[in-house]
């Protein structure tokens, strides 16, 4: 079935009414709304205060979605295009900070342990008594091509789809929503959830847990 491009208005009530306009591609309006609703529930949209829409659940679904789903003729712009048009420099220090935030809180509900794949580099940095930081928190490990693999918190099995490295983290940005990119790169106001999403995308190719 041919898919079309839609703009979907999602609203929710918390302390004040918030809304988000989500671009999706779907076979029909109902499918478009359901896809946008899933993105909203999973935290993959950026909410803004909206004084026009009131009295809906968080976020709402059901009758009346036709008014909030609009077919658009302009193709949906992939997230990739939102940031490949500008040059961004990712430093080893940034990677070390993101990894530390993820390893020490963000990913612990789905991954409990990690292993350094460059044993020689790990041993060299571990023996350096100039720093009390764990190796994953040290930019030298990532700058020199270090990698680590993660293990499933429930099964204890290694995730075989990918590893944490400067390269995999850089590639992950091509798949992140624009607001995640802004949090991590522009604002510097990222939290454990942002770091978790980044590491999941780097290792698994997408957000699987959460």
CB-count exposure of residue 156 (10 Å: 0-12, 13-18, 19+): exposed
* pLDDT at residue 35, rounded to an integer: 83
Say if residues 125 and 135 touch (Cβ distance below 8 Å).
Answer: yes
Interval 72-128: pLDDT, tens: 764 443 333 334 445 677 888 999 999 999 999 889 999 987 788 888 888 888 877
* pLDDT at residue 109, rounded to an integer: 92
Q: How far apart are CA 124 and CA 120, in angstroms?
A: 6
Q: Phi then psi for 113, rounded to 5 degrees?
A: -135, 160
Say if residues 33 and 69 touch (Cβ distance below 8 Å).
Answer: yes
What residues of the chain score a pLDDT lower than 70? Answer: 1, 14-16, 50-64, 73-87, 129-131, 187-188
Residue ranges covered by each domain of the chain: 4-76, 92-204
């Amino acid at each position: 079935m041919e898919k079309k491009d839609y703009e979907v208005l999602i609203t929710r009530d918390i302390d004040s009414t918030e809304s988000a306009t989500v671009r999706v591609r779907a076979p029909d309006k109902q499918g478009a709304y359901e896809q946008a609703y899933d993105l909203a529930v999973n935290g993959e949209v950026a909410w803004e205060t909206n004084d026009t829409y009131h009295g809906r659940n968080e976020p709402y679904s059901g009758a009346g979605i036709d008014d909030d789903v609009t077919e658009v003729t302009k193709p949906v712009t992939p997230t990739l295009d939102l940031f490949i048009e500008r040059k961004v420099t990712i430093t080893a220090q940034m990677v070390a900070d993101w990894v530390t935030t993820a390893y020490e809180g963000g990913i612990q509900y789905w991954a409990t342990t990690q292993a350094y794949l460059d044993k020689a580099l790990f041993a060299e940095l571990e023996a350096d008594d100039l720093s009390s930081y764990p190796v994953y928190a040290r930019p030298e490990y990532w700058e020199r091509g270090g990698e680590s693999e993660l293990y499933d918190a429930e099964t204890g099995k290694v995730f075989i789809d990918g590893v944490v490295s400067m390269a995999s983290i850089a590639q992950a940005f091509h798949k992140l929503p624009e607001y995640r990119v802004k949090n991590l790169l522009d604002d510097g106001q990222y939290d454990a959830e942002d770091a978790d999403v980044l590491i999941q995308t780097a290792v698994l190719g997408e957000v699987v847990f959460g």
